Chains A and B, each alone.
Chain A
């Protein structure tokens, strides 16, 4: 006979029926049995599992005292000898979502138990924790409370029993970015043709490749008076000081180099190089102004067409950049440019 799986349910102060935002500073608390939506969770779990306790904490308390909250809550989880922690669902509540993610990750790491959180897939907590833990997409509103708890229960039971977990679309959790090898029944060419035929016939088909998602930026306001503009030059074409002292990578970049250009009127071939695995750098090496137009910019500044040229060039070798790294590099460069009072950027791309 198999033993009953012991489940602890995490809620915030609102779902624990303590109160709204005014009770956000309630500290970590435990109660035996279910509270509120925990009844629907118990129903979804069936007879093989029992919600032995509910733990809860005010969202503000958790956000402001995360380590203390986690330690106290985990102590309760351990006291109740839980096999499975279910957190939320938090829907689109950001602080609650982060708390659900954090408590699940900590329980998984420190207690080694199965955990499932629930929240909207766009909740900031999903972005932070989806790689570490299983998060069931609850949608943004409370309308899907019961079906979400059912999915969380089903997934949680599988995890607690150490059963194999299927794909995100089948199990209803947020994609964790994990790739697993599997043997397909048909060869790639046949699968591709099947997909194409389905597409032509207007039938549903699923691509086997998930394209990276690019975050759309908010457009910067147009540049006003050019005569007062400070323009920076940035490139992903791998411009470096001769010898590449910062050792930026020619491809798959993880960093960038900052090249001081005070007093430099033109990028001389003997002082600068292009280091890049994605294009033939010969003509840029013969005249690096072909990659970063410093000579022209200096000319325009002298003539008063633009206010000034920013005194540093930021450069990376952009070949085969991983999106996460590229975002990171871009953000760091943008922060530096903003802090330096740059008003416009010309980014040359190869």
Chain B
């Protein structure tokens, strides 16, 4: 989705967990999935703090 986001003018975009589960990964165990989500959200928050 990053090329699409850039094409329409999004200025802060990060690759996430995929089309069908952007903030998750059904392949992982529930604990690992939560950890994955937490890291992703922290990365999103860090991106909000970056100058573009």
Contact = CB atoms under 8 A, between A and B. Distances in A.
Given A222-B49, A293-B40, A215 B9 contact: yes
Contact of B51 (A222, A281, A282, A346): A222
Given A217-B9, A222-B51, A350 B20 contact: yes
A306 B49 contact: no
Contacts of A283: 20-21, 24, 26
Interface of B: 1, 4-5, 7-9, 11-12, 16-17, 19-26, 33-34, 37-38, 40-42, 44-45, 48-52
Interface string A222-239: 111010010100000100
Given A215-B9, A290-B26, A293-B37, A279 B51 contact: no
A305 B44 CA distance: 13
Closest 8 CB pairs between A and B? Answer: A290-B24, A290-B21, A293-B23, A223-B48, A348-B22, A283-B26, A219-B52, A219-B11
Interface residues of A, number: 39
Interface string A274-313: 0000011111101101111101110110000110000000
Given A222-B48, A290-B26, A349 B40 contact: no
Q: Which of B12, B16, B21 has the most CB of A within 10 A?
A: B21
Contact of B20 (A219, A224, A282): A282
A214 B7 contact: yes
Given A295-B34, A348-B16, A350-B19, A217 B11 contact: yes
Given A222-B49, A349-B5, A286 B26 contact: yes
Contacts of A217: 9, 11
